[in-house]
Chain A
Amino acid sequence: MATVPLSHALLLSAALFAIGLAGVITRRNMILVLLSAEIMLNAAGLAFVAAGSRWLAPDGQIMFLFILTTAAVEVSIGLALVLRQNHLAKSLDIDAAGSMKG
């Protein structure tokens, strides 16, 4: 068991969140935008687990489980949309999704 300062674990979480944010803003490939969103969700989960470890409580880990569920659903819907969009627009460019119709 390591007893690192809580602030270091939260700093790691903040750094990963910032990396994911830069990816979401910058990338144009839809798959890589989804990938960056995964990094951000994981960073948020890391903050929950670190806080749960600080108070020796299971609640942080349970929040991570819920984040995991949300991430799985988001990815499955997102990738289905990407496949559909690639079929219709023949492009993975996220700007091409501007002309999406229902």
Chain B
Amino acid sequence: MNILFYVAAAIAIVSSIAAITRSHAIHAILFLVVSFVSISLVFYTLGAPFIAALEVITYAGAIMVLFMFAIMLLNLGAHAVQRERQWQPRIVWAGSGLLSLILLAQLAWTFSFGKAQTGSLPVAPSQVGAALFGTYLLGVELASMLLLAGLAGAYYLGKRSGEPEHPKGGADGNGPA
């Protein structure tokens, strides 16, 4: 099973790099789906089957579909990829790549000490559920309030400006244009 971890890790890193460098937004999203699925495999090998399932359902499923819908709604057209290439000449990656490499080197140096192994037993979903609705119940309540705030905010921001609050006209909703 060890080899599974390293193969999945390599796929995750390569597809994440591909995702942030694509000019076509849809291609970037599809690469990120590949990355999330392989990270889900990493979670499975680390003994977190519940989180592996959630990664596929929520990240690779729901959140990426949300991105897809946003791009479809934007209706970008054919010249979007061309403009994207114009925005991102290769030279702009030098500075940010250097900064990220410095950060990565520091983190790698910090993590390279210690001989600890990850667990030999999976942490079962029942254990996670018992802790989630026991010790962390307050966190669950706070998360529900955060989700409600997100719902209200997305509804408010998603409304087109200039539209009336209540459409005038008949009960069928076909108000004057």
Residues of A within 8 A of B (CB): 1-12, 14-23, 25-29, 31-32, 34-36, 38-39, 42, 46, 49-50, 52-62, 64-66, 68-77, 79-84, 86-88, 92-93
Would you give the 0/1 interface string for B14-51, flagging 1 where the beta carbon is closer than 8 Å to chain A?
Answer: 00110110000100110010011001001101111011
* A31 B25 Cβ-Cβ under 8 A: yes
Pair B51/A49 contact, Cβ less than 8 Å: yes
Task: Name the A residues within 8 Å of B122 (CB-CB).
Answer: 1
B residues less than 8 Å from A28 (CB atoms) = 87-88
Q: Can you list 28 A-B contacts with CB-CB less than 8 angstroms, sorted by A residue number?
A: A7-B114, A10-B107, A12-B12, A14-B104, A14-B108, A14-B111, A15-B104, A16-B16, A18-B101, A18-B103, A22-B99, A23-B20, A26-B93, A32-B20, A34-B67, A35-B19, A35-B28, A39-B20, A46-B42, A58-B132, A61-B50, A61-B51, A65-B132, A73-B146, A73-B149, A80-B158, A86-B74, A88-B161
CB distance from A63 to the nearest CB of B (A): 9
CB atoms of B96 and A25 under 8 A apart: yes
Closest chain-A Cβ to B128's Cβ sits at a distance in Å of: 4
- Which of A21, A26, A82, A84 meets B92, CB within 8 Å? A26
Residues on B facing A (Cβ under 8 Å): 1-2, 4-6, 9, 12-13, 16-17, 19-20, 25, 28-29, 32, 35-36, 39, 42-43, 45-48, 50-51, 54-55, 58-59, 62-63, 66-67, 70-71, 73-74, 76, 84, 87-88, 92-93, 95-97, 99-101, 103-104, 107-108, 111-123, 127-128, 130-132, 136, 139, 143, 146-147, 149-151, 153-154, 157-158, 160-161
